């Protein structure tokens, strides 16, 4: 009988990445049957929760660039799933809304997602789900702390903003 490899942060990291890839591929395949990509589904499902947001706000929620969201929104508008509406007093931004077809597509995708979740992580015992939630929450907190630390370092390295006087060095 072979021994199980030692549990290390690197091993957990790679297992997490592989599990993410498997889940992503499985959901992608299921959503394709509905005529949606994962990115399209993410956008549509986000709009079910925050209809009327701008592309900028949507990009922040989806953790993607405004350029990525812009192209995705263009395709969903052309497909008749999303509608851009002018925001009174703001000639540069548009509020994003689901069309009836877009809402139906989002609901169908959410049903597919719920079935997938039930078939996979939903098979874990309640005690395991509770423990997993605690561990993932702590792991998320380490990411947040790292992001804050890196953001502070980036600001410090950037120096004063343009137009601000530089600090004088004293001997």
pTM of the model: 0.79
Among residues 17, 23, 5, 8, the alpha carbon closest in space to that of 122 is found at 23
User: Check: CATH 3.30.2350.10 for 10-145?
Assistant: no
pLDDT at 60 over 80: yes
* Structure confidence at residue 21 as a pLDDT band (50, 70, 90): very high
The C-alpha atoms of residue 67 and residue 65 are separated, in whole angstroms, by: 5
% of residues, the chain, pLDDT over 90:
76
Q: Domain limits of the chain?
A: 10-145
Distances (CA, A) of 12 to 5, 15, 136, 150: 11, 5, 12, 23
| Predicted local confidence at residue 168, as pLDDT | 45
Kindly give, in sequence order, each residue whose CB lies less than 8 Å from that of residue 31, ignoring residues fewer than 6 positions away: 37, 38, 40, 41, 109, 112
| Predicted local confidence at residue 1, as pLDDT | 61
């Amino acid at each position: 009988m072979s021994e199980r490899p030692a549990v290390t942060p690197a091993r957990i990291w790679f297992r997490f990445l592989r599990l993410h890839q498997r889940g992503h591929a499985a959901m992608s395949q299921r959503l394709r049957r509905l005529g949606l990509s994962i990115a399209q589904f993410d956008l549509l499902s986000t709009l079910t929760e925050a209809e009327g947001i701008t592309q900028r706000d949507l990009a922040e929620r989806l953790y993607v660039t405004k350029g990525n969201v812009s192209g995705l929104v263009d395709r969903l508008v052309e497909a008749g799933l999303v509608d851009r509406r002018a925001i009174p007093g703001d000639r540069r931004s548009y509020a994003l809304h689901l069309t009836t077809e877009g809402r139906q597509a989002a609901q169908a995708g959410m049903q597919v997602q719920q079935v997938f979740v039930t078939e996979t992580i939903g098979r874990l015992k309640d005690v395991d789900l509770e423990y997993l939630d605690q561990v993932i929450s702590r792991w998320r907190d380490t990411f947040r702390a790292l992001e804050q630390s890196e953001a502070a370092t980036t600001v410090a390295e950037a120096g004063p903003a343009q137009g601000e006087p530089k600090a004088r060095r004293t001997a």
